[in-house]
Structure 1
Amino acid sequence: MKEDIKIPKVESVYIAVVNEYNDIYKTQDWNAYIINDKDVDLEMVLIVTSGYSEDKTTSVFRKKIDKLPKKSYAKIELMQEELFALNNTFKVTFFEGNQMYDKTYVFRKNSINLKALQPVPLMSVKGVLVK
């Protein structure tokens, strides 16, 4: 039965953590985004995030996006810098048409930092990107 379930490889969907200025609080914040660089809309996007190390585990955060239009992005969550010492996972599941896709993105501990910034697709900013 398990052999009958085919989940294709996810391409052109990324997770980025971006350091950006918060106009309301006048602070530099780290925010996680999901990026849809595909030419089709994604539907029923479910994102489950958590952080872990050998001796610590964060609570689980869940987010649902009904529709993520093609060539767009959406904010997932604000990330506190204390989390960067942990491995941070983003489990993403979505539908493209009638096909379900699933991928786990991992930011290894201490990989989110100002030295690791690179251009982020579609956003015209720099951030830490996992493909």
Structure 2
Amino acid sequence: MIKDLPDNVVQDIAVAVALESENIEGKVWYVYLINLKNEPIENVLITSKGYGEKDGQQVKTSTLRHMFPKVEPNTYTIIEPIDEQTFGLNNEYWLSYYIGSNIYDKKFIFLPESIVDMNLIKLPVVNKPGVMIK
């Protein structure tokens, strides 16, 4: 079945984890979908989950599903908040969307301990510090 799907390559789309704010209680992080294209993407579906090993035990978070009817060109949308406690896990975001009648999909995985201060950049469009996968 997968072999029957066209080879549509995802380009100019990013998933980023951005630092929203910081206070004495801790840091607040959000996951963003960034459309760097010059055209909108439609019927956007994102599934997110975390998995890996923590303290010698296999851990799996709930799978969450998010739907956005349209993400305009050169804009972003917030996918979900993310807890710092999951940064030691693989955080996977599987994205599917349409441009016209063509479907595109790609899996973005933030590896354990990749969301750290030394990897922060200024995110395009969002203009906040964060870690981005394109």
The TM-score normalised by the length of structure 2 is: 0.89
SS at match of 1:56: strand
The answer for the alignment partner of 2:32 in structure 1 is: 33
1:77 aligns with 2:80: yes
Distance 1:82 1:40, change over 3 A: same
The answer for the alignment partner of 2:16 in structure 1 is: 16
Long gaps (5+) in structure 1: none
AA in 2 matched with 1:21: S
The answer for the alignment partner of 1:4 in structure 2 is: 4
Deviations 1:45-96 (CA, angstroms, capped at 9, x unpaired)? 0000000014111110110000000110000111001100100000000001
The answer for the alignment partner of 1:93 in structure 2 is: 96
The answer for the alignment partner of 1:42 in structure 2 is: 41
SS at match of 1:128: strand
Distance 1:65 1:82, change over 3 A: same
Counterpart Cα distance in 2 of 1:106 and 1:2: 20
Identity of counterpart residues, as a percentage?
33
SS at match of 1:115: helix
Counterpart Cα distance in 2 of 1:2 and 1:73: 29
The answer for the alignment partner of 1:119 in structure 2 is: 122
Q: State which of 105, 108, 130 in structure 1 corresponds to 2:108.
A: 105
- Give the aligned length: 129
Deviation at 1:123, TM superposition (A): 1.5
Distance 1:20 1:3, change over 3 A: closer
Deviation at 1:28, TM superposition (A): 3.0
Counterpart Cα distance in 1 of 2:2 and 2:79: 31
AA in 2 matched with 1:53: G
The TM-score normalised by the length of structure 1 is: 0.91
